[in-house]
Structure 1
Amino acid sequence: MATRLAVAAVLLCFCAVSAAGCLTRTKVTSLPGFDGALPSRIETGYVTVDEENGAELFYYFIESEGDPGTDPVLLWLTGGDRCSVLSAIFFEIGPLKVVIEPYNGELPRLRYHPYTWTKVASILFVDSPVGAGFSYSRDPSGYDVGEVSASLQLVKLLREWFSEHPEFLSNPFYVGGDSGGGKIVPFIAQKISEDIEAGVRPTLNLKLLDEISKAYILGRECIYVSPIRYHETLDRKMLEKEHGVLKHPPAQPSIECGVYANYLSYFWANSNVTRNTLGIKKGTVNEWVRCHENDLPYAIDIKSSTKYHRSVTLKGYRALVYSGDHDAIIPFLGTQAWVRSLDYPIVDDWRAWHVDGQSAGFTIAYENNMTFTTVKGAGHTAPEYEPERCFAMFSRWISNVPL
């Protein structure tokens, strides 16, 4: 099995002529732990975003299961302290989920996620900022970034990626993110819109923003699975098998906790078979961790994103702002307050929206293509807690169908 999976990826490396430098691609035809054919085409790769320091952002591009030639393309960013976007793929909106079962030393198994957003859109998941997931810098100075500089690096990545994937330039393009990722989404959208107005090539077909706002107030209290300290209860022999030694393994939660899947992700992402399949460059990231706990510099230099929301929506770009109504980290009332502060006229007043005849939350639509929605029963990362409702919300909104 290991041999077959190790050769399941095809590496394509070339240098582009644009300012972003080199782009490296890997075509992934199967994934460790997942039986059968992948639901759609997957590509991983690196884009150089800081030539001076040799900093490269790592991405996963997952094509739509529908019609990738016409379906929207969505850039997706995750939040937290340099959290890997693999969390969004495995626990929120991607086509694969970690099978939750007691860890026994074998590679964790994956299963198909029936409410993946890739049913209706192609998604470009990016490990950002530099230092998150498999993104890295050859010079340590490359890790010293902030919200503004990291956002500009993402704009650079998009220019490079679309230059090498021109077949997607005509597709509707959206920018999305949750938690801290949602904070920089409107800034990125504004920079893209400015590039469009200035005639910068390639021209992205920008349509949107997408933001989500203690994570789930009804959940049981569980430990935080994100690592930097050694947990004595772990069996080191388990960690020293084929997937390699974890120098900083996460604490092991109860299997009854939802975060147990986070725990399993460490063993999947640090497997040598997985790294070969994804095309991870050797010597770049010694150990994948789900999130970094403030061990790398990161400037919080976007104090408020409201002005960027106003700027891009006044230009006519679509915006969906949604919150889980059981999120105590960023309660939906606070998000609702800043949306109201835009003072846009209401076109569809506060009402319930439904899935299978049952209330799925509340929604309100404003002029300038601004929609605010709550997701009933969802926590901080809403699709993780209510995948069916969030898929219904996204698929309707992305298709211009009223919620």
Structure 2
Amino acid sequence: MAFISLYHQYHWFLILFVVLVLLFGSETALSDSFKVESLPGFDGSLPFQLETGYVGVDEENDKQLFYYFFNSERNPEEDPLVLWLTGGPRCSGLSALAFEIGPIYFKDAEMTNGDVPSLVLNPNSWTKVANIIFLDAPIGTGFSYSKTGQEGNMSDTISAHDTYEFLRNWFIDYPQFLSNPLYICGDSFSGIIIPILLQELISGIEAGKEPLFNFKGYLIGNPVTDKHLELNTQVPFARGMGLISYELHTSLQRNCKGEYVNIDSSNTVCLNDYKAFLKWKSGVNTNQVLEPVCFDFLAKENISSDNKLSLGIKEPVLRRLGYELSAKEKNSGDNKLSLNDKKTILRNYNCRQRKYPISEIWANDHRVQKALNVRQGLVKKWIRCNFHGIPDNPDYGVPYYYNVNSSIAYHQNINTKGYRSLIYSGDHDMEVPHISTETWIRLLGSSIVDDWHWWIVDDQVAGYTRTYSNGLTYATVKGGGHTSPEQKPKECFEMFKRWIFNNPL
């Protein structure tokens, strides 16, 4: 009887919460949702439930964040609810949806007869066992926008706060999911945003702030966590992968003393050693060192000039590729490419990163935007990753202020609260080497409760894992890169499925 009474109390609380929000908070939230029945490029009706919409995240309703929401294909009423934050910053949720963990992905360079990239089902979609929100955050990302042009006023902390407000307001349209276990997940640069977001979310829970989230934990893959540490561990990572010689590594250790970010300008031996390291690094795809380099070799080598021995030296592969399609369209005169032009471009994308512009062809198609119920005329051009600082490209360049260089302190606080976490590393990622991730996890100071051992998929070693007393599980993904679900989709799905249901990896 007590259980039934508690159930009815919770049921009436949900109803009261929705009524109060509708009465007093509608001007603040102004959220909406739209059920998507079909998508251009996909043959037939969608075999899963997809809804899209916008949520206002400030009192003036100026900032509008766009989302894609997929119901779990298993048991949406009870399965976990995941908020997925893509990296970047300013990479669209569509990128993770279509290239990593969502239920559909682009069929390489194929087009439908309707001049739209083809979509096929992903057999390793994480939506098979979880409800997932893919968010375009912050404003200036994907289809998210500001009514008054505030996209340039954005930072790590503002982005995290806006995402927290998104989550609170999203439940106005979806109160039935308040009781589902909630997990905050992402990869890459979300390693900075998620811990900041979680500190505010957990503080709200502890203060009794409504809505009362059923928050259970978080997951981050190859997380940018401490930029200084990540750059400094690229040298030992390169040696471990056989990318630099024993002699160069020894000289770097001796002359630089492990410091490669802030090199003393008078330490010419260290500077020369580090220039040699950058030369050999320049021929490698740092997102996955075994995969091809997807742009001109010499062009990247020339980046390593004398005046760039700092954090500015890091120019990810993604930044040099995303605007190639835009440049070709600009030169075509009418800003539109023919079907043959598009097919030619896509056939040349024989590297993983060079397939990303497929998403830009798809998302900028007016039929796609109509199917997704995108508000017209508010986003000039959909860009997969709206990085700041791309040279000679007016479609990019929305300012973003990196005001948190390390999220380790946030992890230290969160990991005293009793929540579960999974941190995984693709072991062939040089952007965020597994060495750096393992280092900051050790700095948290928790004892090991289940020491280093392999985890298995299809009778093969998929990686290695250990768990800690603070509820943190660490795992490597063997052969994975910076976005491991791209390189190892089946293994990452198995890892997620086991962890999300609290089973050993």
- Per the normalisation by structure 1, the TM-score is 0.90
Q: Which amino acid is 1:378 matched to?
A: G
- Give the secondary structure class of the aligned counterpart of 1:175: strand
Per-residue CA distance 1:230-280 (angstroms, 9 max, x = gap) = 1379866893569xx99xxxx767232123431211111011111011111
Determine the structure 1 residue equivalent to 2:503.
Answer: 401
Determine the structure 2 residue equivalent to 1:212.
Answer: 221
| Structure 1 residues 215-364: aligned runs within 5 Å | 215-223=287-295, 224-227=320-323, 230-231=327-328, 239=336, 254-294=348-388, 295-364=397-466
- Give the secondary structure class of the aligned counterpart of 2:75: coil
Q: Which amino acid is 1:216 matched to?
A: Q
Determine the structure 1 residue equivalent to 2:84.
Answer: 76
- Which range moves more in the overlay, 288-297 or 232-241? 232-241
Tell me whether 1:67 sits opposite 2:98 in the alignment: no
| Structure 1 residues 370-385: aligned runs within 5 Å | 370-385=472-487
Distance 1:68 1:368, change over 3 A: same
Determine the structure 1 residue equivalent to 2:127.
Answer: 118
- Which range moves more in the overlay, 80-89 or 64-73? 80-89
Distance 1:266 1:232, change over 3 A: closer
Matches of 1:216 and 1:240, distance apart in 2: 31
Q: Displacement, 1:326?
A: 0.6
Per-residue CA distance 1:41-75 (angstroms, 9 max, x = gap) = 11101011234472211011111111000000000
| Structure 1 residues 30-179: aligned runs within 5 Å | 30-52=38-60, 54-101=62-109, 106-179=115-188
User: Does the CA-based 8 Å contact 1:15-1:23 persist in structure 2?
Assistant: no
Q: How much identity, in percent, do the aligned residues show? A: 42
Per-residue CA distance 1:325-376 (angstroms, 9 max, x = gap) = 0101000110011001111011100111110110001101001210110000
Per-residue CA distance 1:213-242 (angstroms, 9 max, x = gap) = 121100011134311751379866893569
- Which range moves more in the overlay, 50-59 or 334-343? 50-59
Q: Which structure features the higher share of strand residues? A: 1
Matches of 1:232 and 1:154, distance apart in 2: 33
User: Does the CA-based 8 Å contact 2:64-2:145 persist in structure 1?
Assistant: yes
User: Does the CA-based 8 Å contact 1:16-1:23 persist in structure 2?
Assistant: no
Matches of 1:331 and 1:276, distance apart in 2: 41
Matches of 1:15 and 1:205, distance apart in 2: 22
User: Does the CA-based 8 Å contact 1:151-1:188 persist in structure 2?
Assistant: yes
Matches of 1:254 and 1:79, distance apart in 2: 26
User: Does the CA-based 8 Å contact 1:77-1:182 persist in structure 2?
Assistant: no
- Give the secondary structure class of the aligned counterpart of 1:174: strand
Matches of 1:101 and 1:210, distance apart in 2: 31
- Give the secondary structure class of the aligned counterpart of 1:351: strand
User: Does the CA-based 8 Å contact 1:324-1:374 persist in structure 2?
Assistant: yes
Larger Rg: 2
Determine the structure 2 residue equivalent to 1:5.
Answer: none
Q: Which structure features the higher share of helix residues? A: 2
Distance 1:257 1:367, change over 3 A: same
Note the aligned Cα RMSD (angstroms): 2.5
Q: Which amino acid is 2:458 matched to?
A: D
- Give the secondary structure class of the aligned counterpart of 1:230: helix
Corresponding residue pairs, total: 385
Decide which of 199, 203, 223 is 2:208's aligned counterpart.
199
Distance 1:379 1:291, change over 3 A: same
User: Does the CA-based 8 Å contact 1:182-1:210 persist in structure 2?
Assistant: no
- Give the secondary structure class of the aligned counterpart of 2:495: helix
Matches of 1:230 and 1:289, distance apart in 2: 13
Matches of 2:461 and 2:87, distance apart in 1: 28
Distance 1:93 1:16, change over 3 A: farther
User: Does the CA-based 8 Å contact 1:225-1:253 persist in structure 2?
Assistant: no
Q: Which amino acid is 2:53 matched to?
A: G
Q: Which amino acid is 2:176 matched to?
A: E
Determine the structure 2 residue equivalent to 1:7.
Answer: none
